[in-house]
Structure 1
Amino acid sequence: MTDTPWTWTAVAAVERLKRGETTPRELLASMRQRVEAVDPMVNALPTLCFDRAERFAERLEALPVADRGRFAGLPWPIKDSTAVSGVRTTWGSLAYADHVPETSDYVVEAIEAEGGVVFAKSNTPEFEAGANTFNEVFGRTLNPWDLSRSAGGSSGGAAVAVATGMAFLAQGSDFACSLRYPAAFCNVVGMRPTPGVVPQGPSALPGQVLSVMGPLARNVEDVALALDGMARFDARDPLSRPCGATSYLAAAQAPRPPARAAFSMTLGMAAVDRPVREAMGQALDRLASSGLRVDEACPDLAASDPAFRTMRAFQFAALRRGALERHGDKLKPEVIWNIEEGLKLTALELAGAEADRARVRLAMLEFLDRYGVLITPTAPVEPFPVEQRYVEHIDGQRLATYLDWLVLGYAITVCGCPAISIPCGRTSTGLPVGLQLVGKPHGEAELLRTAAWCEGVLGQSLARPIDPMEHA
């Protein structure tokens, strides 16, 4: 593989942009070439807006390099659940198949303010429901490690784009596990920040803390660069807060292990398949042999399960009830189920969920005061056949609902802690496995230092993008 621009890391690409060794439009041309060659095989970027991107890049090039922002002209895809002005945005739903927003979401404004050049929308399941990226508008996104497998979701298109060199960085979002599971399935890095770090909106639920925006990239340094540009204070988001002076990239470039770490394979709740258990065991052995003190322990997170299910249902009902009323015949069963469950809720049930959330969060904070970081598998299974809508069995155990296999993600979501998934190994069939690191709220810098150290020990992150494979 030649040293073409689309093979560079995001950090290297930005350095070359700032030194004047390449231009935003040259990078964009390389990205277009790669998308044309690869996307027909994986269906990660169904909506392209290269004309809009060219105009934006041309305006950037008219500015002095020092005034082009942190990204300096780096191309970005945006998830199809996030509005980009003048670009088709469908939420993966037939109900909005022809929707073209007039304004962009706050996170897109943040990325563009730092010189990020938006050139595509990445595929997502309908209204981000489920962790397998398929919808009735654009079809399935395929895992580049094995085209018969799922890429995870709901930021599946974003993860595939990064893994295959169709993006240096990608914006995604995470509700139950939507940044972390695709990262694990595609052997890339995905980070869920603390609520409020990256601005969100406009939204009918501006105070919600379950869903957050975050980045995906091929390595920890690149994710840190992305977070530096996505994080900013935006008064329109009531959770937003002024950013500190800490550079996330500088933190990632100074890796160090925590004084102590805890590990839990299941969080006391999840079923985990044997191939994942084996890969995680090997990864933990490597970390321990490199000097990391790891104790097997976890806080009591049992109440996170009913709390998440209740709050998720409420959020779907609050945000999507209009879609059900107007377009119920166009929605997939899982979306309808989520909305209807939310419409049944009582104030007493919501109060109980909030009490459970408060208890779980405090338990996690006390636990992290002792251990600093919690390590778990990211996802409980290896990438599964893409035709399967969701995971129904794990390790011989039948799951009751389509949410059950997401517990390793949403138990952390409920706590409001930042989490990052990094590649940690492969199964016997060559499919990727991710390791999840959980840190203290607003402790992203320290979490990135830890993740970068673990990444260096494990050596599984992609040095270069991959070409899609028929079989793992």
Structure 2
Amino acid sequence: VKGLHTTYGCPLYKDNIATKSDPLVSLLESRGATVIAKSNSPEFGMLPVSDNRVFGATATPYAHNRTSGGSSGGAAAAVGAGEVWLAHGSDVGGSLRIPAAFCGVVGIRPSPGRVPRAPSKRGFSPLSVQGPMARSVGDVALFLDAMAAHAPNDPLTQQEIPGQFQQAVREARPPKRIAFATDLGLGGVDPEVEAIARAAFQKFASMGAAIEETRPDFGRIDVLFQRLISFNYLTERAEFADANRDKIEPVHGILVDAARKMTIEQLAEAQRWRADLYTRMATFFEDFDALVTPTVGVVPFAKDLRGGADVDEWAGSNPPRWFHQCWGTVPLSNPILAIPAGFTKAGLPVSVQIIAPQRREDLALAYGKLLEDALGLPTHLPKDPVGDV
């Protein structure tokens, strides 16, 4: 935002003042939005927790000692705590959905091209998208309508229909057939999270939907995502990472090095895997209206565990498996809505994500609204922060 302190969570920019606004900020302001604050995130958004060396760690509103998730953790925490009604987030591996889950709010990863991005070296990449967060599905739909637009500088954008997503929420109809999966074949789901997610999914049966526990074969999704994200990062930030290795988080160098070790044959193989996965998913949606999974496999963990190390027995996996439901769905380019599903016995939030067919945000939002109503969880009141859990 022009004129505001903009650090990217990096000590190199701790005194930086933005000289211009992101095109999305300008678009929103032209449509009546008022920017009232900026929020915390990890360095350049590259960790699944909102912790950096400029401002420290951000907690979930539900427990002062537990993380808000990341990278858009400051935004989700502000929404969940009642500081703001709406917030912007980004998602390249779960950066919008992880904090939505950990802070008990609603967030949507739109289809690539739905929300315009600033010009960049990775303009044709469908991995990174921007989207809205709020405390209700209706407010997310309102904000997504404000964000959606065609932009000449973003090659993935298309012309949009004003008010389409709010209309989808108003006219919501239950799915005819909907599927559930606890994971994408990599495990890593806490039993209490699984039970709460499955109970939420069962609500669709009471709406008259046929429900089934099944999913497409995601294959080597861990290897696929690792190759795609490292190549994506090499395209965008290789020179910066090389010049500042001793001054920035290790994750930047790790991604650049991984990309450089990858052969052209491995990159080509990843592109074939992604195409095959997309085809399997499209075929799956010929029979099902949506796929529901836990948004992440764990509850908010200690906020001093930077990057999620030591969260569970899958710690140290690359990429970390505790949020593989997030990064494992990124290569699909489908719209995905994260929505609160309930709370653990300790009072920590649990979330499910509704994966809809390509460019069918209207379905994700409609089904999310129906689930929100069926669950009856609080959406309109600020969450009062509690002590340590």
TM class, shorter-length? over 0.9
Among 63, 70, 92, the residue aligned to 1:146: 63
Asked if 1 retains the 8 angstrom alpha-carbon contact of 2:66 and 2:303, the reply is yes
Among 15, 20, 24, the residue aligned to 1:103: 20
Segment of structure 1 superposing worse, 166-175 or 395-404: 395-404
Q: Which protein has the larger Cα radius of gyration, Structure 1 or Structure 2?
A: 1
**Residue 130 of structure 1: how far off its partner (Å):** 1.8
What is the percent sequence identity of the aligned residues? 37
Residue by residue over 1:333-360, the C-alpha shift from the partner in whole angstroms, topping out at 9 and shown as x without a partner, is 2222122212333322221111111111
Q: RMSD of the TM alignment (CA)?
A: 1.6
CA distance in 1: counterparts of 2:5 and 2:147, whole angstroms: 22
Aligned ranges for residues 423-438 of structure 1 at < 5 Å?
423-438=340-355
CA distance in 2: counterparts of 1:382 and 1:218, whole angstroms: 19
Residue matched to 1:350:
267
Asked if 2 retains the 8 angstrom alpha-carbon contact of 1:272 and 1:395, the reply is no
Residue matched to 2:360:
443
Among 186, 191, 197, the residue aligned to 1:269: 186
**Residue 286 of structure 1: how far off its partner (Å):** 3.3
Does residue 470 in structure 1 map to residue 377 in structure 2? no
Among 307, 314, 334, the residue aligned to 2:231: 314
Asked if 2 retains the 8 angstrom alpha-carbon contact of 1:379 and 1:434, the reply is yes
**Residue 398 of structure 1: how far off its partner (Å):** 4.8
Letter in 1 for 2:14: A
**Residue 396 of structure 1: how far off its partner (Å):** 4.5
Partner SS, residue 63 of structure 2: coil
Partner SS, residue 374 of structure 1: strand
Does residue 124 in structure 1 map to residue 41 in structure 2? yes
**Residue 397 of structure 1: how far off its partner (Å):** 4.7
Does residue 457 in structure 1 map to residue 374 in structure 2? yes
CA distance in 1: counterparts of 2:109 and 2:315, whole angstroms: 29
Residue matched to 1:368:
285
Residue matched to 2:164:
247
Does residue 292 in structure 1 map to residue 203 in structure 2? no
Greater RCO between the two (CA within 8 Å, min separation 6)?
2
Letter in 1 for 2:262: L
Among 325, 328, 334, the residue aligned to 1:408: 325
Asked if 1 retains the 8 angstrom alpha-carbon contact of 2:188 and 2:321, the reply is no
Asked if 1 retains the 8 angstrom alpha-carbon contact of 2:132 and 2:144, the reply is yes
Residue matched to 1:94:
11
CA distance in 2: counterparts of 1:130 and 1:107, whole angstroms: 23
**Residue 263 of structure 1: how far off its partner (Å):** 0.4
Residue matched to 2:93:
176
Partner SS, residue 308 of structure 1: helix
Structure 2: unaligned runs, 5 residues or longer = none
Segment of structure 1 superposing worse, 277-286 or 132-141: 277-286
Asked if 2 retains the 8 angstrom alpha-carbon contact of 1:303 and 1:357, the reply is no
CA distance in 1: counterparts of 2:315 and 2:90, whole angstroms: 28
CA distance in 2: counterparts of 1:206 and 1:186, whole angstroms: 30
Partner SS, residue 433 of structure 1: strand
CA distance in 2: counterparts of 1:394 and 1:330, whole angstroms: 26
CA distance in 2: counterparts of 1:246 and 1:370, whole angstroms: 28
Residue by residue over 1:258-295, the C-alpha shift from the partner in whole angstroms, topping out at 9 and shown as x without a partner, is 11101000122232011201211322333323433210
Structure 1: unaligned runs, 5 residues or longer = 1-83
Residue matched to 2:241:
324
